[in-house]
Amino acid sequence: MDVIGSYGTLLLLLACAFGLFMAWGIGANDVANAMGTSVGARALTLKQAIVVAAIFEFAGAYLAGGEVTSTIRKGIVDPGLMSDTPELLVYGMLSALLAAGTWLYIASLNGWPVSTTHSIVGAIVGFAAVGISVDAVDWGQVGTIAASWIVSPLLAGGIAFALFISVRSLILDQDNPFVRARRYVPVYMWLVGFMISMVTLTKGLKHVGLSADLGFGSNFANALALSVGVGLAVALVGGVLLSRLKPSGKDENSIENVERVFGILMIFTACAMAFAHGSNDVANAVGPLAAVVSTVQSGGIVGVTSIMPWWVLAVGAVGIVFGLSTYGWRVIQTIGRKITELTPSRGFAAELAAATTVVLASATGLPISTTHTLVGAVLGVGLARGVEALHLPTIWAIVSSWVVTLPAGAGLAIVFFYILRSIFG
């Protein structure tokens, strides 16, 4: 109590600085993943992707980023264990933010797309194990999260593989691909509208207590019904726009004309995914920050949940945008151009597969990483063209960085935890 009473203002300032640093890391690494396919497929230029992501990530993080958030991410540690020593919670959250931000900086510098969720989870495991006790960590939950290293990319990769095969057989490999694109792309547009609506309703707007209550019982059933309607509206509008799209050049059935159709579709997908991502993953930065703010402002009372002040969300949103605009291009290049060659049709299949995997995970409670999901989807699209279409050294480097993320976050958090405890007592 004495530590919080004596150093409360300083601890709050450190929390804001470390939270901003962590949010910067999310922008530099995780947001770049969502934009990587669009840039790699040349549906958006790098500058356009940064502008689109900045607008929609900020909107998602600030407007739907969370009213109430759990003090300890993913239920890994019981906050009640620190009710008598609230300063340990403050040190732990500060060290977790700084450790996760540091690892994301290292990964982004090298262009490695890693999981921001796994970074913060590893950091919390590290401080809890040394600051409280090894038994305080829910190792079963940690094991479930680690299992997502395999589940996420396999599921997304399988869906992306199937989607691209369908695009190729229905449209690209036909004698009249442009005509067939006009016929079948509205179906894919329905899928895009449906999946993006589901991602936003199940992973985004729930953070502000909003739900689509249409009288179907559960929130998921309500979201499902609303998303079917959203998908139909998108398909109808898209069908009208496609009917007015004029092919360029002498041959309307050239692949370039068909890819233009998918390029337009990818821009919409990128905007919507950026909003959903901002609303969901900003919690990785502002969750621990909110825990520190709540504990310090209450004079040392440790709560299971923390009310999210508006300015905390603003810190997260600004940090995400700044991270993307400064270092995001490194990870964008890895995702978009170094794993496999992407075109708008391939990038579309990867983005839609990633969105579908997020929806399935939300419905079943399966813990996944959005980063691993998108990388797996890009791998699936590349594999549809044969193993030789994949750049194996890049894939090996990415997988190695995934394995290192949890222990790296934990190790850095332990070091920072001891430093903070030695400084403040």
Percent above pLDDT 70 for the chain = 86
Q: Point out which residues pair with 68 in neighbouring strands.
A: 307
Residues near 13 by Cβ (< 8 Å), separated by ≥ 6?
Answer: none
Q: What is the pLDDT of residues 196-218, one digit of tens each?
A: 788 777 655 554 445 555 555 56
Distances from the Cα of 407 to the Cα of 79, 184, 401, angstroms: 22, 46, 11
Region 148-177 average pLDDT: 89
Cβ–Cβ contacts within 10 Å for residue 278, how many?
Answer: 32
**CA 27, CA 278: separation in Å to the nearest integer?**
9
Q: What is the pLDDT of residues 313-371, one digit of tens each?
A: 778 878 888 888 888 888 988 998 899 999 999 998 998 888 888 777 766 766 677 88
Q: What is the pLDDT of residues 240-290, one digit of tens each?
A: 888 887 777 667 777 888 888 888 888 877 877 777 677 667 667 777 877
Least reliable range by pLDDT among 77-81, 236-240, 256-260? 77-81
Least reliable range by pLDDT among 26-30, 67-71, 286-290? 67-71
Residues near 422 by Cβ (< 8 Å), separated by ≥ 6?
Answer: none
- Domain chopping of the chain, boundaries: 2-424
**CA 205, CA 306: separation in Å to the nearest integer?**
18
pLDDT recorded at residue 412: 96
Q: Is the pTM of this model over 0.75?
A: yes
Percent above pLDDT 90 for the chain = 24
CA torsion 27→30→33→38, rounded to 10°? -40
Give residue 106's pLDDT band: very low, low, confident or very high (50, 70, 90): very high
pLDDT recorded at residue 71: 41
pLDDT at residue 194 greater than cutoff 50: yes
